[in-house]
Amino acid sequence: MNNRKRILRLVIAGSALLIGMACSGTSCDCVTPLEQPMADSEKVYDAVQVRLTPDAFDFIENNLTDIISTFLGDQGLVFDVPRMDQEYCAPPFDWPCFNLHICEDGCTLTAEIVTADATPVPPDLIGLDATINLTGTITITGSLDCDVPIDMQNKPVHADVRFIVDGRDHLLTFNIEGVGFSLSNDDYSLDCSWWYDWLMDLLQGAITGLINSQISSQLDSAMAGAMAQATCLSCDFYSGGCPAGSSCNGDGYCESDGTCLTNPLGMVGTVDIGSLLASVSPGMQASMDIFTAAGQWEDANVDPVVVNDGVEIRMIGGADAARSSCVPTPPDEQIPSNAPPPRLPFTDVVPGTADGYMAGIGISDAFLDWFMYKAYLGGVLCLSLDTDATGGMLSSGTLSVLLGSLNTLTGGRNTPVRLDLVPGQVPYMEIGAGSFTTDADGNRIMDQPLLYVFMPDMAMDFYVLVNERWVRVVTLSQDITLMLGLDFTPDNKVVPIFDENSIVIENVTASNYELLAEDPSVLENLIPTLVGMALPMLGGAIAPIEMPTVQGFALDISAVEGDLPRPDSDYFEYIGLYANLRMADARSARTRDTFAKVSKLNTPARSKMSIWAPGGPSYPSVTLDVSADKGPAAEFSWRLDKGPWSMYQRGPTLTVRDPRLALCTQHTIEVRARTVGDYTTLDTQPAVVKVDIVPKDDGMDYVPQPGPAAMKKLHDMGIAPAQQTLKTSGDESDALPHAGCATGKATGGLELLGLLMLLVGIRRK
């Protein structure tokens, strides 16, 4: 941007803060442009709502110097005054005449913001008033040879930011009006040779007018260019060019009826889900069109943007996808409504408390359901996972731990396995209270989840590679409910929280199992057993979600909870996030240091892998002694083998109880401390403890053999299964830490740990 435009960027910064998103337009590398605008029928109005309270405006005013530095960079408010030539003849006789060259070689002026005030004015305006110091030198050559030193102190500047709803597409935009800035004769003096002094009183008023005319012209030009850049839709925003009914003008913007179309303030584009999940499901073909932008149905005069001395921005959320062949066409009763949800009634305190906040964000359940519906249509949950894609987590050795007859089918070899996931019904979400409590020991417990994800009729087809061909050995269908909470790290990353009750598997049925010898009830118990083993990996499979900065600001989270209770229900209409603003590089809290060591290892005797159910009394466990550096009382969270972080517990000891500790491998336990209840103090470099375990396995007495019908089907398929009876033995004594980990049948269970994270289809690259 040319330097002469920089003085306007402060004004634009005020409005950009209010509606700037972390990813604007299609500039993010996470998306590609849409071909054309998304149809209104695929959108949810009032999908997201944002409020900036009066405290937010106080923060902006009190931190203006840092804000300008962040927004404008090192050059600050600097703009150029280009050359202007003018002939001036003195009235009343139009004599004498002078040829004046103002800023013949260009001039530079620098502004310093001294004070600023932002005043929200209902229904749609923010008045910006500032005082500035303006310094620099304007040169005059030609008939005269003078310098005009500018040293203006506390000069008032005013501008109005007005919010406008474009009636053509209902997108919210803004305009900057009433910019007032001019020099007066008293703001400067002419520094000329002494013999010009007799002319100065005569010429100063004219020179002031010329300078103001030049500055005004530059401001108007900069304003027009900056406003177009910020608010007008560029001709290449959509890959198909300007939307129907508009055309590309000479300035590179789409125009209709003499005015440019509105640039969506948010994120708009196509997300390539297949690319995101390439490491999990190679070759997956799935994409979604996403639309989130500031906008509302009614004009701002009817549906005010300035409300109760704050600003409330509504957002239009949209999603669309072509139906993938992997999912059935849903019946009408499964298709969610995309009608606008009830409006979230913001106040200036966090609900249920007397604590103020600066920024409140409400994400509607209606938008979450619409998003899930379109994700379902687009095949996002149709994953095809094999041994290579899962890094060896999925193999016949994995399943033979629980399905012994697989050894017969594969001849005792560990062969590749493929798992195809096919959703049978549209998934949906519900928003819970998102509340936590503490137990008698002061440990943090998830009282009510923040988010429920329901995936009914989720089918999983298991294939095994036999004689170089994929053979389906069983189909398992079930209803899955995922319940989670949210926590945060000091660098403002959102971390999902799971506990042993976070996943519920119901209504499991088995089919297509003719090649296996197990009873159907054994097969139907397979999924809960896998979940019990894989649950601890689920949280670790979801990459932390970063809360991005917005125009140099970051959020300090005060609360995340369910808001606006739904009548006659335990659910809520919105996820409400409440936060205070800070400069992105400002940190007030110091992170803690964590110390941990193993004090005891308990590995109970066991007989069969299937007894390891979540919460079972026979879980293996490691007792850790933990402490933090000197400071306020601390609480501790742990995770095992890169899984999810646990709920916070008080020291001085932690008990790590997890079914994975029954597996023969070296385990890594990480522990991190924070000041009780203060996520900004969380240790960013956890203490690490290594534990080697050698479990003793009592083995499996008998491997079932396929029946005659299954043997005939195998024969017809050209597969000759090996006939064998597998017997192993071992004692049931407690396992002890050991430098070398023995290899036994139980080690095959290590691959089970990745199944659930693949099951729910949310693992990221």
Of 176, 189, 177, 132, which is closest to residue 156 (Cα–Cα)?
132
Question: Distance (Å, rounded) from C-alpha 457 to C-alpha 455?
Answer: 7
Residue 77 near residue 109, CB atoms below 8 Å: no
Residues in the chain, how many? 765
Task: Give residue 330's pLDDT band: very low, low, confident or very high (50, 70, 90).
Answer: very high
pLDDT at site 760:
31
Per-domain residue ranges of the chain: 3-22+60-231
pLDDT at residue 613 tops 90: no
pLDDT at site 3:
40
Highest mean pLDDT among 111-115, 139-143, 213-217, 239-243: 239-243
pLDDT at site 706:
58
pLDDT at site 358:
95
pLDDT tens sequence across 401-432: 667 777 778 877 788 888 788 899 999 999 99
pLDDT tens sequence across 677-688: 888 899 989 999
pLDDT at site 588:
58
pLDDT at site 440:
80
Q: Beta-carbon neighbour count of residue 417 at 10 Å?
A: 26
Kindly state the percentage of the chain with pLDDT values over 90.
Answer: 31
pLDDT at residue 545 tops 80: no
Task: Give residue 720's pLDDT band: very low, low, confident or very high (50, 70, 90).
Answer: low
Least confident piece of the model among 118-127, 293-302, 594-603: 594-603
pLDDT at site 666:
77
Task: Give residue 103's pLDDT band: very low, low, confident or very high (50, 70, 90).
Answer: confident
Least confident piece of the model among 14-23, 250-259, 436-445, 500-509: 14-23
Residue with more model confidence, 676 or 408: 676
Highest mean pLDDT among 43-47, 208-212, 751-755: 43-47
Task: Give residue 754's pLDDT band: very low, low, confident or very high (50, 70, 90).
Answer: very low
**CB-side exposure of 279: number of CA atoms within 13 Å?**
7
Span 396-404, mean pLDDT?
67
Task: Give residue 104's pLDDT band: very low, low, confident or very high (50, 70, 90).
Answer: confident
Residue 102 near residue 86, CB atoms below 8 Å: yes
pLDDT at residue 544 tops 70: no
Q: How is 311-363 classified by DSSP, letter by letter?
A: EEEEEEEEEE-PPPTTSPPPPGGGSPP-SPPPPP---SB-TTSS-B-SEEEEE
Residue with more model confidence, 614 or 178: 178
- Calculated CA dihedral for residues 604, 610, 614, 618, nearest 10 degrees: -10
Question: Distance (Å, rounded) from C-alpha 520 to C-alpha 509?
Answer: 8
Average per-residue pLDDT for the chain = 76
Q: In the CATH scheme, what is the code of domain 3-22+60-231?
A: 3.15.10
pTM beyond 0.85 = no
Highest mean pLDDT among 49-63, 143-157, 593-607: 49-63
pLDDT at site 230:
78
Span 541-557, mean pLDDT?
65
Tokens in use for 292? 């989130």
pLDDT at residue 111 tops 90: no
pLDDT at site 734:
30
pLDDT at site 694:
57
pLDDT at site 635:
92
Kindly state the percentage of the chain with pLDDT values over 70.
Answer: 69
pLDDT at site 721:
52
pLDDT tens sequence across 184-199: 777 777 666 655 555 6
Residue with more model confidence, 517 or 292: 292
Of 5, 31, 54, 636, which is closest to residue 290 (Cα–Cα)?
31
Question: Distance (Å, rounded) from C-alpha 765 to C-alpha 759?
Answer: 16
Least confident piece of the model among 10-24, 45-59, 384-398: 10-24
Tokens in use for 195? 């013999």
pLDDT at residue 41 tops 90: yes
Integer CA distances (angstroms), 666 to 33, 251, 410, in order: 46, 63, 29
Q: How is 199-240 classified by DSSP, letter by letter?
A: HHHHHHHHHHHHHHHHHHHHHHHHHHHHHHHHHBPBTTSSTT
Task: Give residue 37's pLDDT band: very low, low, confident or very high (50, 70, 90).
Answer: very high
pLDDT at site 689:
92
Interior CA angle at 71 toward 70 and 73, to 5°?
65
Least confident piece of the model among 322-336, 417-431, 493-507, 715-729: 715-729
Query: If residue 524 lies in a helix (H) or strand (E), which one and from where to where?
Result: helix 520-524
Span 62-71, mean pLDDT?
65
pLDDT at site 592:
93
pLDDT at residue 4 tops 70: no
Highest mean pLDDT among 37-46, 64-73, 159-168, 488-497: 37-46
Of 536, 36, 14, which is closest to residue 241 (Cα–Cα)?
36
pLDDT at residue 67 tops 80: no
Residue with more model confidence, 88 or 70: 88
Q: How far is CA 107 from the centre of its chain?
A: 45
pLDDT at residue 672 tops 90: yes
Highest mean pLDDT among 220-224, 326-330, 529-533, 666-670: 326-330
pLDDT at site 159:
82
Least confident piece of the model among 319-323, 527-531, 675-679: 527-531
Q: Beta-carbon neighbour count of residue 702 at 10 Å?
A: 9
Tokens in use for 255? 């125009």
Span 357-378, mean pLDDT?
94
Interior CA angle at 435 toward 755 and 366, to 5°?
70
Residue with more model confidence, 465 or 762: 465
Tokens in use for 231? 């608010």
Of 180, 229, 263, which is closest to residue 9 (Cα–Cα)?
229
Question: Distance (Å, rounded) from C-alpha 85 to C-alpha 73?
Answer: 33
pLDDT at residue 139 tops 80: yes
Task: Give residue 92's pLDDT band: very low, low, confident or very high (50, 70, 90).
Answer: low
Residue with more model confidence, 73 or 382: 382
Show Cβ contacts of residue 58 under 8 Å, excluding neighbours closer than 6 positions.
Answer: none
Residue with more model confidence, 110 or 44: 44
Residue 503 near residue 482, CB atoms below 8 Å: yes
